[in-house]
Amino acid sequence: MEFDPRRPKWQQIADEITRRIKSGRYPAGFQLSEVRLADEFGVNRDTLRKATRALRESGWITTTPSMGSFVAESLPAEEGHQGDA
């Protein structure tokens, strides 16, 4: 991934992980490996933790102490998205 120098890296990583969740690449319950993602994006773990904090605050992931971060079972509603009903 090439980073846009005008935006914080953690924000771009959070956006990319959100895209992966929306596309189904990271399904509900999928464990996000902090070490693997930091290596994939070429950033330190503190940068990745900022991204996961933002994802957790927006409802895309949940974090369980001593277990890790997982894609949320119930994802946040998207603006302008029409429900299935």
- Tell me, what's the pLDDT at 77? 82
Q: Which amino acid, one-letter code, is at 7? A: R
Residue 1 within a domain: no
- Tell me, what's the pLDDT at 36? 97
As a whole number of angstroms, the distance between CA 59 and CA 73 comes to 10
In the predicted model, residues of the chain with pLDDT beneath 50 are 80-85
As a whole number of angstroms, the distance between CA 5 and CA 8 comes to 7
Distances (CA, A) of 31 to 8, 17, 27, 63, 70: 24, 12, 9, 10, 4
Residue 4 within a domain: no
What's 4's DSSP letter?
P
Residue 79 within a domain: no
- CATH number where 15 lies: 1.10.10.10
Q: Which domain holds residue 30?
A: 9-71
Could you give the number of structural domains in the chain? 1
- Tell me, what's the pLDDT at 79? 54
Residue 3 within a domain: no
